[in-house]
Amino acid sequence: MSRDQEWDKAAVEAIARGLKDEPGALMPILGRIQERLGWVPRDAVPLIAQVLNLSRAEVHGVVSFYHDFRHEPPGRNVVRVCRAESCQAMGGVALAEHIKQRLGIDFGETSPDGEFTLVAVYCLGNCACSPAAVVGTELVGRLTPSRFDNAIARLGRTALGKTGVGGTG
């Protein structure tokens, strides 16, 4: 599948039509599309605009304003690394560099094989256990480079049925 072109138009239209009468329908529609597809395709903007009787610019403005809406499909595994003050104070800068090196990507990027997307977030609500990240669906506190590598290996074995990034078994 082309990561930047194919998307389920019928699903987007069904979501938009199903929620169009809700108060402030645009945000719930965008949220549900992202929940269903993992991203909000740029080509879906005209369709959403038509259903809601809004201009494309209005829909695009909301999608582009909120950084939580992805404009490209995410990797199969999303790694969210806290970049807030508490995590920074507890070694988050060096940890972030390790994570970027380990995954071979920078924040906001997806690995070429589509396996990982790396996202900077600003507070995971786990400040007492800084630094923290969400690896796949697992919140990991008191994160060290070694604990990150172990989390990636676990993710590989459980979710992907293989050893994971750089794993040996």
pLDDT at site 160: 41
62 confidence band (pLDDT: 50, 70, 90): very high
Give residue 157's pLDDT. 59
Domains in the chain with CATH codes = 9-65 (1.10.10), 77-159 (3.40.30.10)
Residue with tokens 């609500």: 125
Helix (H), strand (E) at residue 98: helix 93-103
Give long-range contacts, CB 8 A cutoff, 24+ apart: 148-152: 148/95, 148/98, 148/99, 148/102, 149/102, 152/102
pTM of structure = 0.77
Lowest mean pLDDT segment, chosen from 103-117, 123-137, 147-161: 147-161
Cα 71 from Cα 19, distance rounded (Å): 21
- Tokens representing 51 are 């259903």
- Specify the DSSP element, H or E, that contains 80: strand 77-82
